[in-house]
Amino acid sequence: MIATGIYIDDVQATFWQEVSTMVVLIIVIAIISIIITVNVLRSIISPLDRIGSTIYRLEEMGDLTLAVDTQGIDELTQIALGLNNMVSSFRDIAFNSNAFVEQLNVSTHSLESVANDTKQWPINKLKLNKPPQP
């Protein structure tokens, strides 16, 4: 017995009851923390996987029609939007380059035709200026 009239057994029982309560509370907090951590990691990893997958497909297939899903308002969504804008710019550049190449082909064929006509002009002129053969 302690000098205050409280039995040591009662103090120990109260102590162990408090320890048990604290252990349960710590376990509950740890479980909640793990659940929150897993959800946060999923919210980060899933968009990164989508972005990485799209970049890989762009690299492997060269398909400029691909786009990353842009749901959300976080920083990863901003990265996905930036990637989509960049791919769109590449697509426009490729389209404009193709149009330029087509125009260059038409001009080349036209120039080739003019060059052939110019090359044939002196020969045709000589044929016209030749006196007829008896």
pLDDT value at residue 31: 98
3-state helix, strand, coil in the chain (%, to 5): 80, 0, 20
pLDDT value at residue 134: 56
Q: Integer distance in angstroms from the first to the last C-alpha of the chain?
A: 153
pLDDT value at residue 61: 86
By the 8 A CB rule, do 14 and 21 touch? no
Q: What is the mean pLDDT of each run of 10 residues along the chain (134 residues)?
A: 70 92 98 97 89 88 84 84 90 88 89 79 61 58
pLDDT value at residue 20: 96
Q: How far apart are CA 75 and CA 81, in angstroms?
A: 10
Which candidate, 7, 87, 76, places its Cα nearest to that of 46?
76
Whole-prediction pTM: 0.55
pLDDT value at residue 63: 83
Q: How far apart are CA 67 and CA 50, in angstroms?
A: 10
